[in-house]
Structure 1
Amino acid sequence: MIDFLIKSSISLFVLLVIYHLALENEKMHQFNRFYLLFAIAFSLTIPLVTIEVIQELATAVTTQATVAPEEATTRIIKDSVDYWTYSIYTFYILITSILLIRFITNILKLRSKAKSTTRIDYKEAQLVLVKEKTLPYTFLNTIFINEMDYHNRKIEDELYTHELIHVTQKHTLDILFIETLKVLFWFNPVFIFYKKAIQLNHEFLADEKVVQSYNNVPFYQNLLLAKANANPTYYLASNLNYSVTKKRLIMMTKTTSVTRAVLKKSMLIPVVTALLFLLCTKVVAQETNVKKEITPAKPGNLIKTYYDKTTFKIKDEKGKVASEKKYNELTPIEKRAIPSILPKKKELPTNEELLGILSKGAPEVIEIDAYDSKNQFVQKGENEVYNTAGITEKPDFPGGIMEFYKFVGNNFKIPEQPNLKGKVYITFIVEKDGSLSDIKNIRDIGFGTGEEAIRVLKICPKWIPGKMNGVPVRVMYSLPITIQSGKA
Structure 2
Amino acid sequence: MIAYILKSAVLLLIFYAIYKLWLENEKMFRFNRAYLLASLIFSFVIPLKIISFETQFSSRIQLIELNELVLQKGSQNLESVSKNDFLSVLILVFYAFIVLLLAFRFAVNIYSFFSKIKRNKLQLVNGEKVILIDDAVLPHSFWNVIFINKNEFENGKIPVELIMHEKAHLQQKHTLDILFAELIQIIFWFNPLLVFYKKAIKLNHEFLADEAVNKQFDSVTSYQNLLLDFASDKNTISLASNINYLITKKRLLMMTKKESPIKIILKVCTVSAVYVLLLFVFSTKTMAQTVSNKADVKEKDIYTNDAIEKKPEFPGGVLAFYKFVGSNFKMPAEAAKNKFEGKAYMQFIVEKDGSLSEIRTMKDAGYGIGDEVIRVLKLAPKWTPGSINGKPVRVMYSLPITIQAEK
Fold shared by both chains (TM-score > 0.5): yes
Instruction: Report deviation, 1:112.
Output: 0.1
Q: Aligned residue for 1:442?
A: 302
Letter in 1 for 2:302: I
Q: Aligned residue for 1:132?
A: 135
2:193 aligned to which of 190, 195, 200: 190
Q: Aligned residue for 1:306?
A: none
1:53 aligned onto 2:81 = no
1:35 aligned onto 2:38 = no
Q: Aligned residue for 2:25?
A: 25
Q: Distance in 2 between matches of 1:275 and 1:427?
A: 31
User: Does the 8 Å CA contact 1:8/1:47 hold for their aligned counterparts?
Assistant: yes
Q: Aligned residue for 1:317?
A: none
User: Does the 8 Å CA contact 2:236/2:244 hold for their aligned counterparts?
Assistant: no
Letter in 2 for 1:106: N
Correspondence list, 1:436-475, <5 A: 441-446=301-306, 460=363
Correspondence list, 1:61-460, <5 A: 80=81, 82-283=85-286, 428-429=293-294, 441-446=301-306, 460=363
Give a deviation string over 1:48-77, Cα, whole Å, max 9, x none: 1252436799xxxx9xxx99xxxxxx9999
Look up the SS of the partner of 2:107 in the other structure: helix
Look up the SS of the partner of 2:168 in the other structure: helix
User: Does the 8 Å CA contact 1:27/1:255 hold for their aligned counterparts?
Assistant: yes
Which runs of 5 or more structure 1 residues have no equivalent in the other structure?
68-73, 285-423, 431-435, 462-479
Instruction: Report deviation, 1:172.
Output: 0.8
Q: Distance in 1 between matches of 2:304 and 2:231?
A: 56
Q: Distance in 2 between matches of 1:183 and 1:75?
A: 30
Look up the SS of the partner of 1:446 in the other structure: helix
1:16 aligned onto 2:16 = yes
Mark the CA change 1:168 to 1:56 in structure 2 (over 3 Å): closer, same or farther.
closer
Give a deviation string over 1:406-455, Cα, whole Å, max 9, x none: xxxxxxxxxxxxxxxxxx9958346xxxxx99997434533899xx979x
Letter in 2 for 1:174: D
User: Does the 8 Å CA contact 2:285/2:307 hold for their aligned counterparts?
Assistant: no
Letter in 2 for 1:11: L
Look up the SS of the partner of 1:34 in the other structure: helix
Mark the CA change 1:444 to 1:184 in structure 2 (over 3 Å): closer, same or farther.
closer
User: Does the 8 Å CA contact 1:55/1:283 hold for their aligned counterparts?
Assistant: no
Give a deviation string over 1:257-302, Cα, whole Å, max 9, x none: 1111100100012211221232111147xxxxxxxxxxxxxxxxxx
Q: Distance in 1 between matches of 2:171 and 2:297?
A: 66
Mark the CA change 1:445 to 1:161 in structure 2 (over 3 Å): closer, same or farther.
same
Look up the SS of the partner of 2:293 in the other structure: strand
RCO (CA 8 Å, sep 6+): is it higher in 1 or 2? 2
Q: Distance in 1 between matches of 2:297 and 2:98?
A: 47
User: Does the 8 Å CA contact 1:77/1:484 hold for their aligned counterparts?
Assistant: no
Look up the SS of the partner of 1:53 in the other structure: coil
Q: Distance in 2 between matches of 1:222 and 1:114?
A: 31
Q: Distance in 2 between matches of 1:163 and 1:268?
A: 30
Q: Distance in 2 between matches of 1:31 and 1:43?
A: 18
Look up the SS of the partner of 1:236 in the other structure: coil
Instruction: Report deviation, 1:94.
Output: 0.8
Instruction: Report deviation, 1:6.
Output: 1.2
| Percent identity over paired residues | 40
- What TM-score does the superposition give when structure 2 sets the normalisation length? 0.68
Q: Aligned residue for 2:328?
A: none
Instruction: Report deviation, 1:231.
Output: 2.4
Q: Which moved further from structure 2: 47-56 or 146-155?
A: 47-56
Look up the SS of the partner of 1:282 in the other structure: coil
Which runs of 5 or more structure 2 residues have no equivalent in the other structure?
70-79, 312-345, 349-358, 365-393, 400-407
Give a deviation string over 1:23-57, Cα, whole Å, max 9, x none: 11111111111111111111111011252436799
Instruction: Report deviation, 1:96.
Output: 1.0
Q: Distance in 2 between matches of 1:75 and 1:163?
A: 55
Q: Distance in 2 between matches of 1:157 and 1:38?
A: 34
**Size of the alignment, in residue pairs?**
308
Mark the CA change 1:429 to 1:38 in structure 2 (over 3 Å): closer, same or farther.
closer
Q: Distance in 2 between matches of 1:275 and 1:136?
A: 41
Instruction: Report deviation, 1:198.
Output: 0.3
Instruction: Report deviation, 1:4.
Output: 1.7
Letter in 1 for 2:25: N
Give a deviation string over 1:245-265, Cα, whole Å, max 9, x none: 000000000012111110010
Look up the SS of the partner of 1:277 in the other structure: helix
Q: Distance in 1 between matches of 2:54 and 2:28?
A: 38
Look up the SS of the partner of 1:84 in the other structure: helix
Give a deviation string over 1:60-109, Cα, whole Å, max 9, x none: xx9xxx99xxxxxx999976451110000000011111111111001101
Instruction: Report deviation, 1:137.
Output: 0.6
Query: Which of 1 and 2 has greater Rg?
Result: 1
Mark the CA change 1:453 to 1:172 in structure 2 (over 3 Å): closer, same or farther.
farther
